[in-house]
Chain A
Amino acid sequence: MEEWILKANLNLIQKKMSKAEEYTSKISEELLQKLSPEESEKIEKRMLLAAKIDDALKAKGWKKKDFADSLSKQPSEITKWLSGTHNFTTDTLWDIERILGVELITLEERRKEQVISFHISVSKDAEIEAPMSCEQLFHGTSFTISSTWQKKLNKDQKRTNEIYQA
Chain B
Amino acid sequence: MTKGKTKKKQKISFKLIRVELLESTIKHPQKQLPEKITFHFNINLEYRINLDRKFVFLVTSINVSNENDKETLFGYITTSCNFEIQNLDDFIEKDKGKVDFPEEILHTLNSIAVSTTRGIMFSQFRGTFLHHAYLPLIDPKSFKVN
User: Using an 8 Å CB-CB cutoff, how does the interface string of A113-156 with B read, 1 for contact, 0 for none?
Assistant: 11111111111111111011111110000000000000000000
User: Using an 8 Å CB-CB cutoff, how does the interface string of B87-122 with A read, 1 for contact, 0 for none?
Assistant: 000000000011100000010001000000000000
Partner pick for B51 among A114, A117, A126, A129, CB 8 A cutoff: A114
Partner pick for A119 among B31, B36, B49, B143, CB 8 A cutoff: B143
Contact of B138 with A120 in the complex, beta carbons under 8 Å: yes
CA distance A129 to B130 in the complex (A): 10
Residues of B within 8 A of A126 (CB): 36-39, 132-133
Q: Is A110 in contact with chain B by the CB < 8 A criterion?
A: yes
Residues of B within 8 A of A125 (CB): 36-39
Residues of B within 8 A of A123 (CB): 38-41, 67
- Which of chain B's residues has its CB closest to A121's CB? B42
Interface residues of B in 17-60 (CB under 8 A from A): 28-52
Q: Is A111 in contact with chain B by the CB < 8 A criterion?
A: yes
Interface residues of B in 131-146 (CB under 8 A from A): 131-136, 138, 142-146
Residues of B within 8 A of A111 (CB): 51-52, 97
CA distance A126 to B45 in the complex (A): 24
Contact of B48 with A128 in the complex, beta carbons under 8 Å: no
Whole-angstrom distance between the Cβ of B145 and the nearest chain A Cβ: 6
Residues of B within 8 A of A114 (CB): 47-49, 51, 98-99
CA distance A131 to B30 in the complex (A): 11
Partner pick for B132 among A113, A120, A122, A127, CB 8 A cutoff: A127
Q: Which positions in A face B, CB cutoff 8 Å?
A: 110-111, 113-129, 131-137
Given A122-B136, A135-B31, 8 new contacts (CB under 8 A): A111-B97, A116-B106, A121-B41, A122-B40, A131-B34, A134-B28, A134-B30, A136-B32
Q: Which positions in B face A, CB cutoff 8 Å?
A: 1, 28-52, 67, 97-99, 106, 110, 129, 131-136, 138, 142-146
